[in-house]
Amino acid sequence: MKDYVRLARLVAPHAWLFAAAVGCMALLALTTSGYAYLVGPLLRFVYASDGGDLSRVLAPLPASWSSFLTSTSRAIRASDDSTGDVALALALALLVVSGIKGSAMFGERQLMARIGQEVVRDLRVRLFDHLLTVRPQALLGERRGDVAARVSSDVLQIQTAVTWGVASIARDVLQLIALVALAVRLDPVLAGVATIALPIVALSLYRLSRRLRRLERATWDQHGKLYSVAAETVGMVPLVRAYGAEPRARRVWRDLTDRVHHAAIRASRMAAMASPLTEMLGAFAIAGTLGYASMRIRSGELTPETFVSFFAAIFLLYAPIKGLGATGTLMAQGLAALDRMDALLRLPAEPADPASAEPVARLQDRLELRDVHAGYVVVEDGTLLANADDDDAPAFPAATGPMREVLKGVSFHIAAGESVAVVGPSGAGKTTLVSVLLRLLEPTSGEITWDGVPVSRVSRASLRAQMAWVTQEPLILADTVLANIAFADESPDRARVEAAARGAAAHGFIEVLPKGYDTAMAEAGARLSVGQRQRICIARALYRDASLIVFDEPTSALDGHAERELAETLEKLVRHDDPDAGPRPAALIISHRLSTVMRADRAVVLDDGRIVESGRPSELMERGGVFSRLFR
């Protein structure tokens, strides 16, 4: 039941649409039972000698309906011919029932289709909004292709469950109620015999749907892996060919497609059992009903026309039951997709700022770290997920896992306008340090202050607005050059964009692009060199006009010539003396390149999560310590 409550919550924002759809379904159910009833009077009219007695033919109907059909048919014919009255009344009844049924069916389908589209839109917006707030460490265990599959394919499965599954359940249940009510009205004892199999069918379908849901979830998990491998392979085609790894790629792909195939076969086999099971149980019930009814007809307790109407109701009764069996497959698929969607929505989000949080202004004095410790929880597969000491730690899947402390009492400062290089061997904690500064990861202990104010007291948005980040891998959107440089600015200032590009020494190659700054970039900027992509990223940082620019290995992927050019660009950025250029930003430069590090005002050496040396790069080189050993 709780699963259907989850679906109900998706539909709840559109309650008025659903209420209108249910109204249409109720009309559809009533008209279906009306068809079942009319079969008996029609048969009697055709074969019985007293078929012209209109009052007797219409006797089982409510008095108001019988009166309406009698008066209307006689008014139309203007005759006392009772046989003609019966024919016209039944024809009129069929026309009215058909018109109402067709209109109700059209309304129900249109309304439920709209609800399905609304649910898809709401889900995608909700999921994307949540992904933008999830802690980056929590996404490390998710494959990008699988996440994309959940946003696209899984959402469509949920749409199908809402549009057709929920609609079918509501429609079929209402039809069951209407047809059982008609059967009970015609003959309560016979109705009890005919519906004795309903509880058995319902229990069987329930158990079947639970097993099917598990199989569908496993199938879609395999689909997610398939999408991930496809996305990864497309991006690595040159590398695959260069290494001659086509056989391995084909083997991995075929293994995955085989798994998807076998999982889908198992699910389809289970789904195929629903209809035969319903047919078999329904056949037993109908056979028993026929046997018992024939005995009562021979004894005179049951009239033939009543039995025909009753049999039509029971015959139609098993159509919605079969429908519920088929709907079970759709619901199992939809609920399996909803499980996968909820798994993403349960990923821990960044904690909200306290109500007392205040914005920060441009850095005037210094950014300081005092005895900062930070680390991650390690889960079974080795993924680093979260700070163990965070308040929200229990929300993580493996909050009970071991703690890996990365920063172990880091203390240093960056003065306004100063450039500081952070160096150290791989695994020393440099990337973690960047995450802590940007508040993408909260320290487990210690304090970070901005002009003397602890950053825990300020809003994350205002703090990040004073920082710009140039990542190790140049991140380029599949959008125009202008949009890539302006990035978060939805109303870009073209003059500022060009000024930022000139500052990053990118204006020259941008100008010769087919449409200049309006040139659309390929995915990940594939048509640009690594150095050009990195310069666009630096221009993006300059456009932000931040107090602190963090350069995270900006030259690691460049050759010697490109590295020197970019290093000179960085030097100009952190050492400019142009009074018209505005306040000089502070710079934190993480690099393994000596030529880049030597241009910084100061360097700190991080080793095993601790600061072991600090000073001017030239002085540290002369000391012969860790800094000197790293570069010599």
Query: Which of the four pLDDT bands, split at 50, 70 and 90, describes residue 370?
Result: very high
Query: Which of the four pLDDT bands, split at 50, 70 and 90, describes residue 372?
Result: very high
- Are 196 and 281 in contact, with CB atoms under 8 Å apart? no
Query: Which of the four pLDDT bands, split at 50, 70 and 90, describes residue 382?
Result: very low
Residues 614-630: tens digit of each pLDDT: 999 888 888 888 888 88
- Better pLDDT: 163 or 370: 370
User: Residue 282's pLDDT is what?
Assistant: 63
User: Residue 239's pLDDT is what?
Assistant: 61
Instruction: Average the pLDDT over 498-511 and give the result.
Output: 87
Scan for tokens 């086509």, then name that residue.
246
What proportions of the chain, in percent to the nearest 5, are helix, strand and coil?
65, 10, 25
Task: Indicate whether 181 pLDDT > 60.
Answer: yes
Instruction: Average the pLDDT over 524-531 and give the result.
Output: 72
- Are 602 and 419 in contact, with CB atoms under 8 Å apart? yes
Whole-number Cα distances in Å, 463 to 173, 362, 543:
56, 9, 16
Residue 469 pairs in a beta bridge with 550
pTM over 0.75? The answer is: no
User: Residue 313's pLDDT is what?
Assistant: 75
Tokens of 100: 């109402």
Query: Which of the four pLDDT bands, split at 50, 70 and 90, describes residue 134?
Result: confident
Task: Indicate whether 286 pLDDT > 70.
Answer: no
Sign, Cα dihedral of 63, 67, 70, 73:
negative
User: Residue 622's pLDDT is what?
Assistant: 87
Exposure string for 37-75, b = 16+ CB within 10 A, e = fewer: bbbbbbbbbeebeebbbbeebbebbeeeebebbbebbbe
Instruction: Average the pLDDT over 442-469 and give the result.
Output: 90
The interaxial angle of helices 198-235 and 304-345, nearest 10 deg, is 30
- Residues 6+ positions from 526 with CB-CB distance below 8 Å: none
Task: Indicate whether 42 pLDDT > 70.
Answer: no
User: Residue 39's pLDDT is what?
Assistant: 65
Radius of gyration of the chain (CA): 36
User: Residue 383's pLDDT is what?
Assistant: 44
Query: Which of the four pLDDT bands, split at 50, 70 and 90, describes residue 595?
Result: confident
User: Residue 400's pLDDT is what?
Assistant: 43
- Better pLDDT: 225 or 546: 546
- Are 119 and 370 in contact, with CB atoms under 8 Å apart? no
272-279 long-range Cβ contacts below 8 angstroms, 24+ apart: 273/208, 274/205, 274/208, 274/325, 274/326, 274/328, 274/329, 275/322, 275/325, 275/326, 277/201, 277/204, 277/205, 277/208, 277/325, 278/201, 278/205, 278/318, 278/321, 278/322, 278/324, 278/325, 279/322
Least confident of 16-20, 221-225, 587-591: 221-225
Task: Indicate whether 62 pLDDT > 70.
Answer: no
Task: Indicate whether 490 pLDDT > 90.
Answer: no
Instruction: Average the pLDDT over 124-146 and give the result.
Output: 74
Least confident of 224-228, 343-347, 609-613: 224-228
Q: Which helix (H) or strand (E) holds 371?
A: strand 366-377
Scan for tokens 């992927």, then name that residue.
557
- Are 378 and 404 in contact, with CB atoms under 8 Å apart? yes
User: Residue 563's pLDDT is what?
Assistant: 66
Instruction: Average the pLDDT over 62-68 and give the result.
Output: 54
The DSSP bridge pattern shows strands 467-470 and 548-552 to be parallel
Average pLDDT value for the chain = 75
Helix (H, G, I), strand (E, B) or coil at 421: strand
Residues 233-285: tens digit of each pLDDT: 666 665 666 656 677 777 777 787 777 777 777 777 766 666 666 666 666 66
Query: Which of the four pLDDT bands, split at 50, 70 and 90, describes residue 43?
Result: low
User: Residue 154's pLDDT is what?
Assistant: 76
Instruction: Average the pLDDT over 175-204 and give the result.
Output: 74
Task: Indicate whether 566 pLDDT > 80.
Answer: no
Tokens of 162: 């809402």
Measuring CA to CA, which residue among 434, 305, 313 is closest to residue 367? 434
Helix (H, G, I), strand (E, B) or coil at 444: coil
The CATH superfamily holding the domain 2-345 is: ABC transporter type 1, transmembrane domain (1.20.1560.10)
Least confident of 10-19, 165-174, 189-198: 189-198
Tokens of 508: 């020259």
Measuring CA to CA, which residue among 380, 440, 436 is closest to residue 405? 436
User: Residue 599's pLDDT is what?
Assistant: 81
Sign, Cα dihedral of 288, 292, 295, 300:
negative
User: Residue 411's pLDDT is what?
Assistant: 93
DSSP string, 457-507: GB-HHHHHHTEEEE-SS----SSBHHHHHHTT-SS--HHHHHHHHHHTT-H
Residues 386-421: tens digit of each pLDDT: 443 333 333 333 344 566 888 999 999 999 988 899
Query: Which of the four pLDDT bands, split at 50, 70 and 90, describes residue 88?
Result: low
User: Residue 369's pLDDT is what?
Assistant: 93
